């Protein structure tokens, strides 16, 4: 009964989405405010309906209702409750439902925070989002219904893939989808602007916080996916240039470009047409990413059942969304106008360079990801594109972009002078070069990439310091602290995000430069030493988990004669599918991770064991979190606050503080 309610709610949601997609857009075109007024209640109704459907599916999982095909396929009666709930997005159908659910959440948020938008704008935005939702609901109801019954019911579920039974997996997909789907707001803003034919600085100011928030979610989502791969796959890598990872990285690159180009549109009214194109690109790549990963085109832990009908639907849907929006773009973009002129050396010019580099990088990832699929589809042979391709393309493309991070924020809008910039940046440059030369010496190894990485990281940090000093000099106020507080939050946000990149670079550089890895055979009581740490293997014991049995090894870690940690890596056997899984043990530290994973049992209680020493690896994810935090800080800037929240500024400081806390 409950699954039928969910199914029915989805059908109703489709009807509402159709109304929401057609009437308000038509109303905006003919100036009928009654039709436009439909958008808001329709969006909220749709949210409630999809929420109901989502709740029904969650109930079916919690209730172990194996008469629902999807539940039987992805869960098991022994699976703990939190993983049963996470199994909602453990495969194709449920992921789509999650996607749609998140889309309606964003829609609901738009209805809440758009009171200051003109009616036509708001109804067009919600209308476009409604149309996207139509596509997804139609897809679910026609070829991938999560509520499909299995009659007779299965006595036992097939279980969730053990690799996915992990806390990271509980949060990673929703985060990632919040990012993907968040770009639909920017996309809807862009299409609304094209439909309306006007795109001014106010438009950019409205869409900026939405885009930034989506970008933050995507950043965190990707970082969590990478972290999951690191500790769950048991071979200590954090990024494999796997097509699945690339699928999430491409929208991130386009989204990053979009965040920067929106800044120009907001502040200077420039880059209008380009910004719209980027918004379309970011969302199209999000769709492509969702489908590539979930459709079974790519084979990985993310891919599930392959069904040709689904493939056709996906292709058609992508063609309609991407083709349709690009057509609209070709037709209406000339009306939008180009925006003001600027010189090559100016903040606009530097941001344009950043955009070109990011888009070029995105294109190269796209090539490496899609080309093997094309060849395969045309039956021209099977190939794969190795990680060295991406490495050798990314370093030269990203180096200038990273260098520009230091220059861009200090350059004037419209026209900057090279001698002036050089003068302001000279000591930052000096410090960076000195560090890049001296530090590898002190560490005892030198490679070109090590120096380059350090150079860029220190460059970003030191130019950030220069930027803050200059900013504080310009802000009015008595005392250094008061003036620091006067620097707008959007500026701090930007700096924080840029420093996040620097932290990330330090992590990548140090891991690549200094990590040590060893596969060894270890008898009980034997020791092995890497990176100054001695690992003593004290044998394995059998332990029981809720739905698995495991052999748990004990390793004592000794450094400088003192025991620093005890680690317990496991080899688990999940009973439902009789599948073996390596559960690595990781000792996390600020400056290094120690990583142990069990290979196979050999004779006499000996095991083959994989040991890693990974300096600075947590900086990689720390950097990503800093980037996302920077985005959050930037969005909290008062310039983005809707008018009704900004009003209390006129009243005394106490009230202002209160309103800040609310925001």
Partner 1 sequence: MTSRQKRFAFIGLGLVVLGVATVLVLNAFNKNLVFFFTPTMVANGEAPKGQSFRIGGMVEDGSLKRENDGLTVHFVVTDTAKSVPVTYKGILPDLFKEGKGAVAQGQLAADGTFVASEVLAKHDENYMPPEAAEAMAKAKKAKASGAQSSNTLVIQTQ
C-alpha span between 458 and 461 (Å, rounded):
5
Q: Which residues contact 256 (CB under 8 A, 6 or more apart)?
A: 215, 358
C-alpha span between 137 and 530 (Å, rounded):
53
From 519, 538, 563, 647, residue interacting with partner 1 (rule: CB under 8 A): 519
Q: Determine if 154 is a binding residue for partner 1 (CB under 8 A).
A: no
C-alpha span between 537 and 550 (Å, rounded):
17
**In 170-270, which ranges are E strands?**
none
CA distances from 572 to 87, 247, 587, 588, 612 (A): 20, 30, 19, 22, 20
From 12, 43, 53, 91, residue interacting with partner 1 (rule: CB under 8 A): 91
C-alpha span between 401 and 132 (Å, rounded):
33
Three-class SS state of 339: coil
Report long-range pairs for 548-556 (Cβ below 8 Å, ≥24 apart): 548/162, 548/572, 548/573, 548/574, 548/575, 548/581, 549/573, 549/575, 550/583, 551/598, 551/601, 553/585, 553/596, 553/598, 553/607, 553/609, 555/585, 555/596
- The smaller minimum CB distance to partner 1, of residues 323 and 396, is found at 396
Q: Determine if 404 is a binding residue for partner 1 (CB under 8 A).
A: no
Q: Determine if 341 is a binding residue for partner 1 (CB under 8 A).
A: yes
Q: Which stretch binds partner 1 (CB under 8 A): 5-13, 47-55, 109-117, 299-307?
A: 299-307
In total, the chain counts a number of residues equal to 663
Q: Determine if 527 is a binding residue for partner 1 (CB under 8 A).
A: no
Q: Which stretch binds partner 1 (CB under 8 A): 138-146, 191-199, 277-285, 341-349?
A: 341-349
Kindly state the smallest distance separating residue 163's Cβ from partner 1, in Å: 7
- 285 neighbors 258 (Cβ within 8 angstroms): no
Kindly state the smallest distance separating residue 157's Cβ from partner 1, in Å: 11
Site string for partner 1, 105-144 (x = CB under 8 A): ----------------------------------------
From 154, 326, 356, 466, residue interacting with partner 1 (rule: CB under 8 A): 356
- 500 neighbors 629 (Cβ within 8 angstroms): yes
CA distances from 454 to 291, 451, 501, 502 (A): 38, 5, 12, 9
Q: Which stretch binds partner 1 (CB under 8 A): 367-375, 547-555, 643-651, 652-660?
A: 367-375
From 67, 364, 534, 564, residue interacting with partner 1 (rule: CB under 8 A): 364
Q: Determine if 247 is a binding residue for partner 1 (CB under 8 A).
A: no
From 22, 393, 452, 472, residue interacting with partner 1 (rule: CB under 8 A): 393
* Strand (E) or helix (H) holding 657: helix 653-662
Kindly state the smallest distance separating residue 396's Cβ from partner 1, in Å: 6
The sign one gets for the Cα dihedral 149, 151, 156, 160 is negative
Kindly state the smallest distance separating residue 577's Cβ from partner 1, in Å: 6
Of residues 264, 284, 275, 283, the one with CA closest to residue 333: 275
Q: Determine if 381 is a binding residue for partner 1 (CB under 8 A).
A: yes
Size of the site for partner 1 (CB under 8 A): 56
From 385, 530, 551, 629, residue interacting with partner 1 (rule: CB under 8 A): 385
Q: Determine if 602 is a binding residue for partner 1 (CB under 8 A).
A: yes
Residue 64 backbone zone (phi > 0: left; psi -120 to 50: alpha; other: beta)? left
- The smaller minimum CB distance to partner 1, of residues 45 and 355, is found at 355
Q: Determine if 384 is a binding residue for partner 1 (CB under 8 A).
A: yes
From 33, 142, 300, 588, residue interacting with partner 1 (rule: CB under 8 A): 300
Kindly state the smallest distance separating residue 580's Cβ from partner 1, in Å: 5
Report long-range pairs for 575-580 (Cβ below 8 Å, ≥24 apart): 575/78, 575/547, 575/548, 575/549, 576/76, 576/78, 576/79, 576/156, 576/157, 576/158, 576/159, 576/547, 577/158, 577/159, 577/162, 579/161, 579/162
C-alpha span between 46 and 450 (Å, rounded):
52
Which token pair is 230?
A: 């690191």
From 130, 173, 234, 339, residue interacting with partner 1 (rule: CB under 8 A): 234
57-76 residues near partner 1, rule: CB under 8 A: 73-74
Give the position of tokens 């599918």: 577
Q: Which stretch binds partner 1 (CB under 8 A): 284-292, 308-316, 343-351, 456-464?
A: 343-351
- The smaller minimum CB distance to partner 1, of residues 159 and 618, is found at 159
Three-class SS state of 84: helix
The angle at the Cα of 298, spanning 297 to 303, to the nearest 5 degrees, equals: 90
From 152, 378, 578, 643, residue interacting with partner 1 (rule: CB under 8 A): 578
Quote the distance between the C-alpha of residue 609 and its chain's center: 33
Kindly state the smallest distance separating residue 602's Cβ from partner 1, in Å: 5
Q: Which stretch binds partner 1 (CB under 8 A): 119-127, 224-232, 361-369, 554-562?
A: 361-369
544, burial (CB in 10 Å: exposed 0-12, middle 13-18, buried 19+): exposed
- The smaller minimum CB distance to partner 1, of residues 58 and 393, is found at 393
- The smaller minimum CB distance to partner 1, of residues 608 and 649, is found at 608
C-alpha span between 421 and 198 (Å, rounded):
36
Q: Which stretch binds partner 1 (CB under 8 A): 40-48, 80-88, 155-163, 473-481?
A: 155-163
- The smaller minimum CB distance to partner 1, of residues 447 and 577, is found at 577
Q: Which stretch binds partner 1 (CB under 8 A): 21-29, 447-455, 519-527, 586-594?
A: 519-527
Q: Which stretch binds partner 1 (CB under 8 A): 43-51, 57-65, 302-310, 640-648?
A: 302-310
Q: Which stretch binds partner 1 (CB under 8 A): 6-14, 112-120, 128-136, 601-609?
A: 601-609
Q: Determine if 158 is a binding residue for partner 1 (CB under 8 A).
A: yes
From 352, 425, 494, 499, residue interacting with partner 1 (rule: CB under 8 A): 352
- 431 neighbors 454 (Cβ within 8 angstroms): no
Q: Determine if 581 is a binding residue for partner 1 (CB under 8 A).
A: yes
- For partner 1, the binding residues (CB under 8 A) are 73-74, 91, 158, 161, 163, 234, 299-301, 304-307, 341, 343-344, 349, 352-353, 356-357, 360, 363-364, 367-368, 371, 381-386, 388-389, 392-393, 396-397, 519-521, 577-582, 597, 599-600, 602, 606, 608, 610
């Amino acid at each position: 009964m409950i699954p039928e309610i969910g199914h029915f709610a989805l059908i109703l949601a489709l009807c509402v989405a159709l109304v929401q997609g057609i009437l308000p857009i038509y109303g905006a075109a003919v100036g009928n405010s009654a039709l436009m007024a439909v958008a808001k209640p329709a969006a909220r109704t749709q949210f409630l309906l999809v929420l109901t459907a989502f709740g029904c599916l969650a109930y079916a999982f919690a209730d172990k209702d194996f008469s629902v095909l999807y539940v039987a396929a992805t869960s098991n009666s022994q699976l703990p409750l939190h993983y049963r709930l996470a199994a909602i997005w453990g495969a194709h159908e449920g992921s789509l439902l999650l996607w749609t659910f998140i889309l309606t959440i964003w829609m609901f948020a738009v209805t809440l925070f758009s009171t200051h938008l003109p009616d036509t704008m708001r109804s067009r935005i919600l209308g476009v989002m409604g149309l996207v939702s139509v596509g997804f609901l139609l897809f679910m109801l026609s070829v991938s219904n999560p509520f499909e019954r299995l009659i007779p019911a299965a006595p036992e579920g097939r279980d969730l893939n053990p690799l996915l039974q992990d806390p990271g997996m509980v949060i990673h997909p929703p985060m990632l989808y919040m990012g993907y789907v968040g770009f639909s707001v920017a996309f809807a803003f862009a299409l609304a602007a094209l439909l309306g034919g006007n795109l001014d600085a106010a438009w950019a100011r409205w869409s900026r916080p939405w885009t930034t928030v989506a970008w933050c979610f995507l950043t965190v989502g990707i970082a969590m996916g990478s972290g999951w791969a690191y500790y769950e796959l048991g071979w200590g890598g954090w990024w494999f240039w796997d097509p699945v990872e690339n699928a999430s990285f491409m929208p991130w690159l386009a989204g990053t470009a979009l965040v920067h180009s929106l800044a120009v549109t907001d502040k200077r009214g420039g880059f209008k047409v380009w910004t719209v194109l980027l918004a379309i690109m970011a969302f199209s790549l999000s769709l492509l990413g969702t489908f590539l990963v979930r459709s079974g085109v790519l084979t990985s832990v993310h891919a599930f059942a392959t069904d040709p009908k689904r493939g056709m639907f996906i292709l058609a849907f992508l063609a309609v969304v991407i083709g349709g929006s690009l057509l609209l773009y070709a037709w209406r973009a000339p009306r939008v106008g180009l925006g003001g002129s600027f010189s090559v050396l100016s903040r606009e010019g530097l941001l344009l360079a950043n955009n070109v580099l990011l888009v070029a990088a995105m294109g190269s990832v796209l090539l490496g990801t899609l080309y093997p699929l094309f060849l395969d589809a045309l039956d021209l042979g099977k190939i794969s594109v190795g990680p060295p391709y991406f490495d050798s393309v990314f370093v030269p493309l990203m180096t200038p972009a990273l260098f520009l991070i230091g220059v861009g924020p200090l350059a004037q809008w419209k026209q900057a002078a090279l001698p002036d910039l050089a003068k302001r940046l000279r000591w930052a440059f000096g410090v960076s070069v000195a560090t890049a030369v001296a530090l590898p010496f002190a560490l005892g190894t030198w490679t070109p990439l090590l120096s380059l990485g350090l150079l860029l990281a220190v460059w970003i940090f030191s130019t950030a310091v220069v930027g803050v000093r200059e900013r504080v000099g310009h802000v009015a106020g008595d005392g250094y602290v008061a003036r620091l507080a006067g620097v707008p939050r959007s500026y701090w946000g930007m700096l924080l995000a840029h420093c996040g990149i620097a932290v990330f670079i330090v992590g990548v550089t140090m891991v690549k430069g200094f990590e040590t890895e060893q596969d060894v055979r270890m008898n009980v009581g034997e020791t092995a030493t890497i990176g100054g740490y001695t690992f003593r293997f004290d044998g394995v014991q059998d332990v029981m988990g809720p739905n698995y049995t495991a052999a748990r090894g004990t390793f004592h870690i000794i450094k400088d004669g003192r025991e620093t940690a005890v680690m317990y890596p496991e080899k688990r056997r999940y009973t439902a599918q009789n599948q073996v899984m390596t559960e690595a043990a990781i000792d996390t530290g600020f400056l290094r991770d120690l990583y142990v994973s069990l290979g196979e049992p050999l004779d006499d209680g000996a095991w083959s064991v994989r040991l890693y020493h990974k300096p600075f690896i947590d900086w990689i994810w720390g950097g990503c979190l800093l980037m996302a935090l920077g985005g959050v800080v930037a969005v909290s800037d008062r310039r983005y606050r809707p008018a009704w929240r900004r009003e209390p500024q006129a009243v005394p400081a106490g009230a202002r503080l209160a309103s800040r806390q609310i925001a």
